[in-house]
Amino acid sequence: MYPISRSSARLNLRELEIEDVDAVFAIYGSPEATEHLSFEARTREQVRQIVARSIAAVSETPRTEYALAVTERDSDELIGFGRLALDPHQQRGATIGFALRPNVWGAGYGAETVRLLLGVGFEDLGLHRIWGARSPLNEASARTMTAVGMVEEGTIREHVLKAGKWRDSVVHAILDREWRAGGP
Ligand SMILES: CC(C)(COP(=O)(O)OP(=O)(O)OC[C@H]1O[C@@H](n2cnc3c(N)ncnc32)[C@H](O)[C@@H]1OP(=O)(O)O)[C@@H](O)C(=O)NCCC(=O)NCCS
């Protein structure tokens, strides 16, 4: 499906553009924003490649990658990055990822972003199950996913190799019927 476009009270979700590289770098290049992610802070060139790959992936058939810009409706500024990746080994399932620029944290944008992404997954793409994997130390992510009705399901042991060390992931997920009912 292309293009994705959704709005909430304060945010828009839209397709990425190549002009977004610097704004995405402000997130993916930040040690603070990537502290609990599965990768270390990226260079600007790595971010440029990610954005370019994400743009190229929109025309794949079927489309499995939905890397989206989160923008503030008031300022039209890109303040976050959201991603749904359809799982080729699971029917109508996808993983979710999201990150916001640190200077906007704590204002409810995280939960608003995840709701927008779940709306895309369940309402636009007709998915059955959406899940996210977080670091056990990522309390902000745990609270954000819980706030939107994603249930903590368990731990994947030594799921992520980061800085030469294996790290567990905690899985949170939500089903289509739970989304339609407004939460589990
Ligand atoms: C996770 C993230 C998106 C949350 O964004 P945010 O805009 O600050 O979140 P919200 O303001 O919507 O808050 C959502 C919930 O998380 C809680 N929360 C936010 N930051 C927190 C923190 N540092 N510690 C504990 N709880 C926190 C809020 O209190 C709220 O909980 P509540 O609904 O129980 O009150 C943001 O911290 C971020 O971008 N982190 C870096 C990337 C990342 O870790 N992404 C998740 C990958 S799995």
Residues 67-90 pLDDT 10s:
999 999 999 999 999 999 999 899
User: Strand 151-162 relative to strand 165-175: parallel, antiparallel, unpaired?
Assistant: antiparallel
Q: Is 100 in the pocket of ligand 1 (CB under 6 A)?
A: yes
Residue 137 DSSP one-character state: T
pLDDT at residue 113, as a whole number: 98
Tokens 């503030």 map to which residue? Answer: 72
pLDDT of 184 above 60:
no
Q: What is the pLDDT of residues 8-27, one digit of tens each?
A: 999 999 999 999 999 999 99
Check pocket membership of 134 for ligand 1, CB cut-off 6 A.
Answer: yes
As a CATH number, domain 5-181 is: 3.40.630.30
Domain regions of the chain by residue span: 5-181
Quote the ligand 1 centre to 6 CA distance (angstroms): 21
Give the mutation target among 78, 105, 117, 137 for probing the ligand 1 site: most ligand atoms within 8 A of CB. 105
Which pLDDT score is estimated for 182? 86
SS3 category, 10? coil
| pLDDT at residue 46 tops 60 | yes
Query: Is the pTM higher than 0.95?
Result: yes
Cβ–ligand 1 distance for 105 under 6 Å, the answer yes
Instruction: Note the pLDDT of residue 183.
Output: 61
